[in-house]
Amino acid sequence: MSNIYDVVIIGTGPAGLAAGLYASRANLKTIILEKEKAGGQIVTTEEVANYPGSIADASGPSLIARMVEQAEEFGAERKLDEVKEIDFSDKIKVIKGEKEEYKAKSVIVATGAKPRLLGAPGEKELTGKGVSYCATCDGAFFEDLEVYVVGGGDSAVEEAMFLTKFARKVTIVHRRDKLKAAKSIQEKAFKNDKIDFIWNSEVKDLKGDGILEAMTLRNRETGEETEIVASEDDGTFGVFVFIGYLPQTSLFENVIDMERGYIKTDDNMKTNVDGVFAAGDCRVKSLRQVVTATADGAIAAVQAEKYIENNFEE
């Protein structure tokens, strides 16, 4: 079985890289597959201030670079190959990539999730430069500035309330005339003096020279457009987008049990398929952060090692 990997890890975000580190350090033959580049969502973050032990100048790309180096140092292979098909029906799992086919005794799915984008001009260019999808990650960077939160569900309203700890004013921009969030959450937001609302509106575009400086809102009922420009004193403002996440799990539909597109696991990252584990943002969980992703990856790798010990003879 020399041509068979002990562990194939799909995804090189923090969860996949942590799994690769733990698996390879346990002397398991390990390969990490990624369709684009290492890092997941964290590579779009200019500064990582809430990961334990991160230093003042730590950025998403620098943190990922260290994780990659660490995993490879212990012998984990890493390959750029997009997974097209999977067959988990037998004891030996088969993963078919665009370039090659891989066989494994165990698989760790760490494909992550992506925030649903506005699709507005300027959004991509200004992500991490005023446009954010994570209040916990970036809220502190908007101390005493104005912030706009796009969305009307539970997450949007809860994150808006969290942002009032930093911003001097938070405005929720919602495409409807009432919030979708739970009534108890709405009541707290309506009582918060730092939160305002703009109804029936959507973001038409975002502008700025290297940093967010202006945003155009369009009223969905009247068609009227309003441009919001950063004050001269501030120079910028924040736009936090919370209109949902898209778990990257379509490949595993009808194979692994899911809930709203997220993979269901137990506390040991085990899925309903023997020998298949999931880690990070692609699984059902309450907090999607680098620190929880790396923890998931470590647990998944340790459990994969135990699974191999119990199910494969030397």
In the chain, CATH 3.50.50.60 covers 5-115+245-311, 123-241
> pLDDT by residue (tens digit) across 195-214?
999 999 999 999 999 999 99
User: Could you say which of 6, 57, 87, 134 is catalytic?
Assistant: 134
Per-residue pLDDT of 223-249, as tens digits, reads 999 999 999 999 999 999 999 889 999
Catalytic site includes residue 134: yes
SS3 3: coil
Ordered alpha helix ranges (H), 86-129: 123-126
Q: Is the pLDDT of residue 1 over 60?
A: no
Is 282 noted as a catalytic residue in this protein?
Answer: no
CA atoms within 13 A on the CB side of 184: 0
Residue that wins the pLDDT comparison between 181 and 37? 181
Quick one: pLDDT at residue 244?
A: 86
DSSP code of 264? Answer: P
Of 3.40.1190.20, 3.50.50.60, 3.20.20.70, 3.30.720.210, the CATH number of 5-115+245-311 is: 3.50.50.60
Confirm whether 193 is a catalytic residue. Answer: no
Report residue 289's pLDDT band, with 50, 70 and 90 as the boundaries: confident
For the whole prediction, is pTM greater than 0.85?
no
Between CA 54 and CA 200, with CA 235 as vertex, the angle to 5 degrees is 95
DSSP states of 40-59 as a string?
Answer: GGGGG-S---SSTT--TT--
Q: Is 107 helix (H, G, I), strand (E, B) or coil?
A: strand
- The catalytic residue among 137, 281, 282, 296 is 137
Using DSSP bridges, classify how beta strands 131-132 and 238-241 pair: parallel, antiparallel or unpaired. parallel
Nearest CA among 185, 145, 187 for reference residue 165: 145
Q: Which of 81, 138, 281, 296 is catalytic?
A: 138
> For domain 123-241, which architecture applies?
3-Layer(bba) Sandwich (3.50)
